[in-house]
Amino acid sequence: MKIVVCVKYVPDAQGDRRFAADHTVDREGVDGILSELDEYAVEQALQVAEAAGGESTVTVVTVGPQAAETAVKKSLQMGADAGVHVVDDALHGSDAFATSLVLATAIAGLEPDLVLTGMASTDAGMSVVPAMVAARLGLPQVTFAGSLTIDGATLTTTRDGDTSTEVITSTLPALVSVTDQINDPRYPSFKGIMAAKKKPVTTLTLADLGVDASQVGAGAAWTAVDAVVARPPRAAGQRVSDDGTGGSQLVAYLVAHKLV
Protein backbone atom coordinates (compact mmCIF):
# COMPACT_ATOMS: atom_id res chain seq x y z
CA MET A 1 0.00 0.00 0.00
CA LYS A 2 1.27 3.46 -0.93
CA ILE A 3 0.42 6.07 1.68
CA VAL A 4 1.07 9.79 1.27
CA VAL A 5 0.89 12.28 4.13
CA CYS A 6 0.65 16.04 3.62
CA VAL A 7 2.70 17.88 6.23
CA LYS A 8 3.29 21.56 6.83
CA TYR A 9 6.11 23.66 8.27
CA VAL A 10 4.59 26.24 10.63
CA PRO A 11 5.79 28.81 13.17
CA ASP A 12 6.13 27.29 16.62
CA ALA A 13 2.94 28.06 18.58
CA GLN A 14 5.11 28.54 21.68
CA GLY A 15 7.11 31.28 19.96
CA ASP A 16 6.39 34.91 19.11
CA ARG A 17 4.27 34.35 16.01
CA ARG A 18 3.72 37.41 13.84
CA PHE A 19 3.16 38.68 10.31
CA ALA A 20 5.85 40.03 8.00
CA ALA A 21 5.67 43.47 6.40
CA ASP A 22 3.76 42.06 3.39
CA HIS A 23 1.09 40.57 5.71
CA THR A 24 2.22 37.00 5.14
CA VAL A 25 3.23 34.76 8.04
CA ASP A 26 6.75 35.58 9.23
CA ARG A 27 8.73 32.38 8.78
CA GLU A 28 12.18 33.94 8.98
CA GLY A 29 12.16 35.49 12.45
CA VAL A 30 10.30 32.67 14.21
CA ASP A 31 11.35 29.07 14.85
CA GLY A 32 9.43 26.62 12.69
CA ILE A 33 8.30 23.06 13.33
CA LEU A 34 6.21 20.28 11.85
CA SER A 35 2.59 21.29 12.48
CA GLU A 36 1.51 19.46 15.63
CA LEU A 37 -1.78 18.42 14.03
CA ASP A 38 0.11 16.80 11.15
CA GLU A 39 1.94 14.53 13.58
CA TYR A 40 -1.33 12.64 14.08
CA ALA A 41 -1.58 12.07 10.32
CA VAL A 42 2.00 10.78 10.15
CA GLU A 43 1.40 8.47 13.10
CA GLN A 44 -1.80 7.11 11.53
CA ALA A 45 -0.01 6.47 8.26
CA LEU A 46 2.68 4.51 10.09
CA GLN A 47 0.06 2.46 11.93
CA VAL A 48 -1.80 1.68 8.69
CA ALA A 49 1.44 0.68 6.97
CA GLU A 50 2.48 -1.53 9.87
CA ALA A 51 -0.91 -3.25 9.88
CA ALA A 52 -0.88 -3.74 6.09
CA GLY A 53 2.66 -5.11 6.07
CA GLY A 54 4.18 -6.24 2.80
CA GLU A 55 5.55 -3.49 0.62
CA SER A 56 3.64 -0.64 2.31
CA THR A 57 5.38 2.73 2.18
CA VAL A 58 4.77 6.13 3.75
CA THR A 59 5.84 9.25 1.84
CA VAL A 60 5.42 12.75 3.26
CA VAL A 61 4.87 15.74 0.99
CA THR A 62 5.34 19.37 1.94
CA VAL A 63 5.18 22.72 0.14
CA GLY A 64 7.21 25.51 1.65
CA PRO A 65 10.50 27.40 1.92
CA GLN A 66 13.88 25.73 2.29
CA ALA A 67 13.43 25.57 6.06
CA ALA A 68 10.36 23.37 5.54
CA GLU A 69 12.74 20.44 5.26
CA THR A 70 12.46 20.48 9.07
CA ALA A 71 8.90 19.12 8.78
CA VAL A 72 10.02 16.40 6.39
CA LYS A 73 12.95 15.45 8.61
CA LYS A 74 10.74 15.09 11.72
CA SER A 75 8.34 12.86 9.76
CA LEU A 76 11.20 10.65 8.57
CA GLN A 77 12.51 10.40 12.12
CA MET A 78 9.08 9.22 13.25
CA GLY A 79 9.27 6.43 10.66
CA ALA A 80 8.16 7.65 7.24
CA ASP A 81 10.07 6.12 4.35
CA ALA A 82 10.62 9.08 2.03
CA GLY A 83 9.88 12.75 1.57
CA VAL A 84 8.96 15.16 -1.22
CA HIS A 85 9.65 18.87 -0.72
CA VAL A 86 8.27 21.38 -3.21
CA VAL A 87 10.23 24.61 -2.86
CA ASP A 88 10.13 27.60 -5.18
CA ASP A 89 10.44 31.36 -4.58
CA ALA A 90 7.26 31.90 -6.63
CA LEU A 91 5.23 30.08 -3.96
CA HIS A 92 5.59 32.90 -1.44
CA GLY A 93 2.17 34.28 -0.51
CA SER A 94 0.22 31.33 -1.92
CA ASP A 95 -3.24 30.81 -0.44
CA ALA A 96 -5.09 27.53 0.20
CA PHE A 97 -6.30 27.30 -3.40
CA ALA A 98 -2.78 27.52 -4.85
CA THR A 99 -1.32 25.28 -2.15
CA SER A 100 -3.88 22.58 -2.96
CA LEU A 101 -2.94 22.79 -6.64
CA VAL A 102 0.75 22.19 -5.93
CA LEU A 103 0.09 19.45 -3.39
CA ALA A 104 -2.34 17.63 -5.68
CA THR A 105 0.08 17.79 -8.60
CA ALA A 106 2.93 16.40 -6.48
CA ILE A 107 0.73 13.67 -4.99
CA ALA A 108 -0.69 12.59 -8.35
CA GLY A 109 2.76 11.52 -9.49
CA LEU A 110 3.08 9.21 -6.47
CA GLU A 111 -0.14 7.30 -7.30
CA PRO A 112 -1.10 6.67 -3.64
CA ASP A 113 -3.73 4.28 -2.30
CA LEU A 114 -4.34 6.55 0.69
CA VAL A 115 -3.69 10.24 1.36
CA LEU A 116 -3.70 11.45 4.97
CA THR A 117 -3.66 14.98 6.34
CA GLY A 118 -4.12 16.69 9.67
CA MET A 119 -7.48 18.33 10.32
CA ALA A 120 -5.99 21.83 9.97
CA SER A 121 -2.69 23.67 10.05
CA THR A 122 -1.80 25.38 13.31
CA ASP A 123 -1.00 28.67 11.58
CA ALA A 124 -3.91 29.26 9.18
CA GLY A 125 -6.41 26.84 10.75
CA MET A 126 -8.71 26.87 7.70
CA SER A 127 -9.25 23.09 7.34
CA VAL A 128 -10.03 23.50 3.62
CA VAL A 129 -6.89 22.18 1.93
CA PRO A 130 -7.75 18.47 2.40
CA ALA A 131 -11.08 18.91 0.60
CA MET A 132 -9.45 20.95 -2.16
CA VAL A 133 -6.72 18.37 -2.72
CA ALA A 134 -9.27 15.54 -2.81
CA ALA A 135 -11.37 17.43 -5.37
CA ARG A 136 -8.35 18.08 -7.59
CA LEU A 137 -7.32 14.41 -7.43
CA GLY A 138 -10.85 13.16 -7.96
CA LEU A 139 -10.71 11.15 -4.72
CA PRO A 140 -13.45 10.49 -2.18
CA GLN A 141 -12.72 12.45 0.99
CA VAL A 142 -13.46 11.76 4.64
CA THR A 143 -12.68 14.64 6.98
CA PHE A 144 -12.20 14.94 10.75
CA ALA A 145 -11.74 11.20 11.28
CA GLY A 146 -11.46 10.09 14.89
CA SER A 147 -10.54 6.52 13.96
CA LEU A 148 -9.49 4.70 10.82
CA THR A 149 -9.47 1.03 9.85
CA ILE A 150 -8.85 -0.57 6.46
CA ASP A 151 -10.19 -3.88 5.27
CA GLY A 152 -9.12 -4.73 1.74
CA ALA A 153 -10.14 -1.86 -0.51
CA THR A 154 -12.53 -0.33 2.04
CA LEU A 155 -11.73 2.13 4.79
CA THR A 156 -13.96 2.88 7.75
CA THR A 157 -13.75 5.98 9.92
CA THR A 158 -15.69 7.53 12.77
CA ARG A 159 -16.43 11.22 13.23
CA ASP A 160 -17.52 12.40 16.66
CA GLY A 161 -20.13 15.15 16.67
CA ASP A 162 -21.87 17.03 19.48
CA THR A 163 -24.81 14.65 19.57
CA SER A 164 -23.70 11.50 17.75
CA THR A 165 -20.83 9.52 16.24
CA GLU A 166 -20.91 9.01 12.48
CA VAL A 167 -19.47 5.87 10.90
CA ILE A 168 -18.28 6.54 7.36
CA THR A 169 -16.96 4.07 4.80
CA SER A 170 -15.17 4.73 1.53
CA THR A 171 -13.40 2.82 -1.18
CA LEU A 172 -9.69 3.24 -1.82
CA PRO A 173 -7.95 5.27 -3.02
CA ALA A 174 -9.22 8.05 -0.78
CA LEU A 175 -8.14 11.11 1.20
CA VAL A 176 -8.71 11.28 4.94
CA SER A 177 -8.04 14.14 7.36
CA VAL A 178 -7.61 13.02 10.96
CA THR A 179 -8.25 14.76 14.27
CA ASP A 180 -5.99 14.99 17.30
CA GLN A 181 -8.13 12.32 18.99
CA ILE A 182 -7.17 9.50 16.64
CA ASN A 183 -3.87 8.44 18.25
CA ASP A 184 -0.85 9.46 20.28
CA PRO A 185 2.03 10.37 17.93
CA ARG A 186 5.27 8.55 18.67
CA TYR A 187 8.47 10.35 19.59
CA PRO A 188 11.42 9.83 17.26
CA SER A 189 13.78 7.25 18.73
CA PHE A 190 17.55 7.53 18.49
CA LYS A 191 17.44 4.73 15.92
CA GLY A 192 14.78 6.61 13.96
CA ILE A 193 16.78 9.83 14.03
CA MET A 194 19.87 8.11 12.68
CA ALA A 195 17.91 6.14 10.05
CA ALA A 196 16.25 9.33 8.77
CA LYS A 197 19.60 10.63 7.57
CA LYS A 198 19.70 7.91 4.89
CA LYS A 199 16.11 8.19 3.70
CA PRO A 200 15.47 9.80 0.30
CA VAL A 201 14.05 13.32 0.05
CA THR A 202 13.13 14.58 -3.41
CA THR A 203 13.20 18.34 -3.93
CA LEU A 204 10.94 19.67 -6.68
CA THR A 205 10.31 23.08 -8.22
CA LEU A 206 7.16 24.34 -9.93
CA ALA A 207 8.85 23.68 -13.27
CA ASP A 208 9.44 20.06 -12.26
CA LEU A 209 5.73 19.70 -11.55
CA GLY A 210 4.62 21.55 -14.67
CA VAL A 211 2.80 24.21 -12.62
CA ASP A 212 2.90 27.73 -14.05
CA ALA A 213 4.21 30.31 -11.58
CA SER A 214 1.32 32.61 -12.47
CA GLN A 215 -1.05 30.15 -10.73
CA VAL A 216 0.57 30.52 -7.32
CA GLY A 217 1.98 33.20 -5.05
CA ALA A 218 0.46 36.38 -3.67
CA GLY A 219 -0.49 37.63 -7.13
CA ALA A 220 -2.74 34.63 -7.77
CA ALA A 221 -4.21 34.42 -4.26
CA TRP A 222 -7.99 34.43 -3.95
CA THR A 223 -7.68 35.63 -0.36
CA ALA A 224 -5.31 38.09 1.30
CA VAL A 225 -4.71 39.71 4.67
CA ASP A 226 -5.58 43.40 4.33
CA ALA A 227 -4.50 44.59 7.77
CA VAL A 228 -2.94 43.30 10.95
CA VAL A 229 -3.63 44.81 14.38
CA ALA A 230 -1.66 43.69 17.40
CA ARG A 231 -3.66 42.35 20.31
CA PRO A 232 -3.97 45.10 22.95
CA PRO A 233 -2.02 44.57 26.16
CA ARG A 234 -3.96 42.96 28.94
CA ALA A 235 -5.55 45.57 31.21
CA ALA A 236 -4.97 45.48 34.94
CA GLY A 237 -7.70 43.77 36.89
CA GLN A 238 -9.80 45.27 39.62
CA ARG A 239 -8.51 44.53 43.11
CA VAL A 240 -10.99 44.18 45.95
CA SER A 241 -9.85 44.77 49.52
CA ASP A 242 -11.90 42.54 51.77
CA ASP A 243 -12.96 44.58 54.74
CA GLY A 244 -15.79 42.25 55.49
CA THR A 245 -17.80 43.25 52.42
CA GLY A 246 -15.74 41.30 49.86
CA GLY A 247 -18.60 38.94 49.04
CA SER A 248 -21.02 41.80 48.48
CA GLN A 249 -18.51 43.61 46.26
CA LEU A 250 -17.96 40.47 44.19
CA VAL A 251 -21.70 39.96 43.68
CA ALA A 252 -22.13 43.62 42.75
CA TYR A 253 -19.34 43.31 40.16
CA LEU A 254 -20.83 40.16 38.62
CA VAL A 255 -24.27 41.72 38.43
CA ALA A 256 -22.93 44.95 36.93
CA HIS A 257 -21.18 43.02 34.17
CA LYS A 258 -24.18 40.72 33.62
CA LEU A 259 -22.17 37.63 34.53
CA VAL A 260 -24.92 36.28 36.77
For residue 113, the model assigns a pLDDT of 97
Side chain identity, residue 95? D
The DSSP output letter for 152 is T
pLDDT band of residue 159 (cuts 50, 70, 90) is very high
pLDDT band of residue 32 (cuts 50, 70, 90) is confident
For residue 66, the model assigns a pLDDT of 93
Cα gap 41→88, rounded to integer Å: 25
248 versus 111: the higher-pLDDT residue is 111
The DSSP output letter for 93 is T
Check pLDDT > 90 for residue 74. Answer: yes
Mean pLDDT calculated for residue range 171-199: 96
State the chain's mean pLDDT as an integer. 91
Helix (H, G, I), strand (E, B) or coil at 226: coil
Buried residues in 120-129 as b, exposed as e (16+ CB within 10 A): bbbbbeebeb
Of 1-5, 173-177, 209-213, 246-250, which range is least confident? 246-250
For residue 230, the model assigns a pLDDT of 78
For residue 233, the model assigns a pLDDT of 85
pLDDT band of residue 15 (cuts 50, 70, 90) is low
pTM as predicted: 0.85
Mean pLDDT calculated for residue range 15-31: 71
Beta strands in 154-208 (DSSP E): 154-160, 165-171, 174-178, 201-204
Mean pLDDT calculated for residue range 216-230: 85
Check pLDDT > 80 for residue 126. Answer: yes
Hey, how many other C-beta atoms are within 10 angstroms of the C-beta on 43? 21
Q: What are the residues whose beta carbons fall under 8 Å from the beta carbon of 75, sequence distance 6 or more?
A: 5, 7, 34, 38, 42, 60, 83
Mean pLDDT calculated for residue range 51-76: 94
27 versus 195: the higher-pLDDT residue is 195
Check pLDDT > 90 for residue 223. Answer: no
Domain 2-220 adopts which CATH fold?
A: Rossmann fold (3.40.50)
Are 95 and 126 a contacting pair, CB within 8 Å?
no
42 versus 223: the higher-pLDDT residue is 42
For residue 122, the model assigns a pLDDT of 83
Mean pLDDT calculated for residue range 44-70: 94
Least Cα distance to 100 among 83, 81, 121, 82 occurs for 121
pLDDT > 70: what percent of the chain? Answer: 97
Least Cα distance to 9 among 97, 171, 124 occurs for 124
Degrees to nearest 5, angle at CA 209 with 27 and 25: 15
Mean pLDDT calculated for residue range 205-229: 90
pLDDT > 90: what percent of the chain? Answer: 68
Least Cα distance to 144 among 111, 114, 116 occurs for 116
Check pLDDT > 80 for residue 238. Answer: no
All structural domains of the chain with their residue ranges:
2-220
